[in-house]
Structure 1
Amino acid sequence: MPSEFSLIARHFTRPTANTVLGVGDDCAIVAPRAGYELLVSSDMLVAGTHFLPDTDPARLGWKTAAVNISDIAAMGAQPRWMTLALSLSAPDEPWIAALAQGFADCCAAFGVDWIGGDTTRGPLNLCATVFGEAPAGRAIRRSGARAGDDIWVSGWPGLAALGLKHLLEGTPLNGDWRDTCIEALERPQPRVALGLALNGMASAMLDVSDGLAGDLAHILERSGCGAELEDAALPLGPALAACNDARLARQCVLGGGDDYELLFTAPPALREAIAALVPGLGLPISRIGRCLAEPGLNLKHRDGSVAPLAITGFDHFA
């Protein structure tokens, strides 16, 4: 049976490009660039809560890195370094090798050095910590939205939630959309390039991990404002094409989560500049509503009527 240290040496020690000292000592050493601030975030993935126990290990490794990188993207910053701590019930080396490769592949895809971590025996649990950089005073916070700002979201939220419903409940999905939805769930794509492009444009931003409506509520709470979303502007197309159920598609887009798309606000004067980002990024960006001075989150229906939006995001302890 391989030892903890042989597993680390074989699978968790990778070359680094932007690190003073990587794996091997008690700590890694990193050096942020002059004039930059260091951003730090940790996300834990627990079997049965964040992923199904039979998830492909390479995809699980990718997702573990991706959801952490997404937190850096959500603040308009550059991800630079990552650690991974995991507990395992047994040292299944082929499974560990695939997990480590998926994690390393995601780090490499976004220019992140994997600089250390820990392994121990226990229930399957993965916890990564990511470090990023932003020019001093320039990281995009949740607290900057103002009444009159537009509300935007990237990509096609809702597909990951449909993928999960298919795997858990057998919800039928159409044709190739099944694979697309499962890919969105198991191999999310952090929107790093968009986050960097929005630095200096977005007034507030976060990534959609717990559902669009619930995550927007976090921006509104921190910014002290309200919002009105427009049903006609929501990017429902792919979710509706995947499931042929308008109610389910809307529920997944507004409340599904696990998309890791960027949800942000910006002044109306920047509409053309934001729209101009789309061709270069190859990523749709939808303007879905506006911020209001009055508190609350409402949905404007296609018939012009307005009602409070009751959909909330995921809460581990609700």
Structure 2
Amino acid sequence: MFTSPTPFIPVDEEELIAQAWTIFRKDPAELLGLDDAQAIRVRGTLVLNVDVFDESTDWLPGMALSDVGWRAVVAGVSDVLVKGAKPLGILLAVGLPEDLVEASRELFTGVAEACEELGVKVWGGDLGASELLYVSVTAVGVAERLISRRGARPGDVLMIAGHEVLTPAAYALLLKGAKPCKEAGEALRAAFRPKLVKPEFWLEVLDSVTASIDDSDGLALTLHRLAEASRVRLVVETLPLSHALVRCAEEWGLDPLELALYGGGEEYNFVFTVEKEREDEVLERARKHGVKAWRVGRVEEGGGVYVEGLGEVERRGWLHFKPDNWGSAPSRVVNSPTHPA
């Protein structure tokens, strides 16, 4: 358990790093300790990913610094895990504006909480001054069997593991000006502190998985990327829509399915395909581990993404450098040492 963070005393870089290490739990398997680089012995295929949180595009209104740390870790580890690797540790690079130095304990506490949840360690990294906050996470894992986006074949089953689609409701509230709905709290919690599929479940079902991707840029775009990489057609039969998303969409006069497909991002559900004869086995293992998983469609010959009975799904979602996305997440304004707004 992590106690409520108290502000750091203003210090220089070396002292701030030393204070951060009072929060992180060192990995006894790391060989160099606090040094110029980090080293660890591994057996298997090394899988790495870099993901950056930038306050100008990624900081949602109302998100606390601890949520920033949590999400940065989840984003990096998700890409490593979904490729079939057991996550081992992260390298953390942080650029801190002067007005956030005292509150940085909250940021590091969020990082530590996510690492504990996912069973990974902080190995080292870099810390410096910056005009805007950025948090870069390099996640490292080891795989015995890699799962790419390219392996889906006609006849496979399309599945989702994680949780019901929920964060599009939060994005509508925070970034699109939708009026508050009764289920808003659940959606906001999911957006601020996304949960990953349990690693122990995912690593256990890898032998059944033919292709995989995490949903971090919107469900429609995620499905298209999987279809394109595998050169197949994905037919969506159903989607696990959360009660909160459906209720909010109804209050806003929106189609819940359209909101789920086009309104989200950073859901971090795993979207994957399995051989048809392995479907029941995957669902049974999900139940054993307390993981929610659903069959949501099938793989056919051809191309594109379709919803059964409704037609083709547009290829759109979150893309950096797209004109509509510049500045969509407003920069934070610090109201207190611990809670940006």
TM-score normalised according to structure 1 size: 0.90
CA distance in 2, matches of 1:297, 1:226: 6
* Counterpart amino acid of residue 184 in structure 2: R
- 2:239 is aligned with 1:234: yes
Matching residue of 2:184: 178
Matching residue of 1:126: 135
- 2:321 is aligned with 1:317: yes
- 2:78 is aligned with 1:78: no
Q: How does 1:70-149 map to 2 (within 5 A)?
A: 70-90=78-98, 92-122=100-130, 123-135=132-144, 138-149=145-156
Distance 1:172 1:23, change over 3 A: farther
* Counterpart amino acid of residue 307 in structure 1: G
Distance 1:15 1:156, change over 3 A: closer
Q: Deviations over 1:231-262 (max 9, x none)?
A: xx111242203442573422332121210000
Instruction: Report deviation, 1:55.
Output: 2.0
Query: Which of 174, 197, 213 in structure 2 is aligned with 1:206?
Result: 213
CA distance in 1, matches of 2:29, 2:99: 29
Instruction: Report deviation, 1:195.
Output: 2.2
Answer whether contact 2:61 2:174 (CA < 8 A) is retained.
no
* Counterpart amino acid of residue 317 in structure 1: F
Structure 2 residue runs of 5 or longer lacking an equivalent are 1-9, 323-341
Query: Which of 12, 24, 27 in structure 2 is aligned with 1:17?
Result: 27
Query: Which of 296, 300, 304 in structure 1 is aligned with 2:304?
Result: 296
CA distance in 2, matches of 1:166, 1:243: 11
How many correspondences in the alignment?
307
SS of the residue corresponding to residue 108 of structure 1 reads helix
Q: Deviations over 1:82-127 (max 9, x none)?
A: 0111112216344200000110111122111101111122221111
CA distance in 2, matches of 1:268, 1:69: 28
Instruction: Report deviation, 1:22.
Output: 5.3
Matching residue of 1:166: 173
Instruction: Report deviation, 1:222.
Output: 1.4
Matching residue of 1:4: 13
SS of the residue corresponding to residue 161 of structure 1 reads helix
CA distance in 1, matches of 2:28, 2:266: 30
SS of the residue corresponding to residue 132 of structure 1 reads strand
Distance 1:213 1:205, change over 3 A: same
Instruction: Report deviation, 1:170.
Output: 4.2
CA distance in 2, matches of 1:86, 1:234: 37
SS of the residue corresponding to residue 315 of structure 1 reads coil
Instruction: Report deviation, 1:291.
Output: 1.1
CA distance in 1, matches of 2:65, 2:242: 31
Q: Percent identity?
A: 26
Q: How does 1:28-67 map to 2 (within 5 A)?
A: 28-32=38-42, 34=43, 36-52=44-60, 55-67=63-75
Q: Deviations over 1:184-204 (max 9, x none)?
A: 111111212332122111100
Query: Which of 258, 266, 288 in structure 2 is aligned with 1:280?
Result: 288
Answer whether contact 1:190 1:260 (CA < 8 A) is retained.
yes
SS of the residue corresponding to residue 160 of structure 2 reads strand
Distance 1:172 1:285, change over 3 A: farther
* Counterpart amino acid of residue 319 in structure 2: D
Structure 1 residue runs of 5 or longer lacking an equivalent are none
The two structures, once aligned, show a CA RMSD in angstroms of: 2.0
CA distance in 2, matches of 1:213, 1:169: 18
Distance 1:53 1:21, change over 3 A: farther
Instruction: Report deviation, 1:212.
Output: 1.6
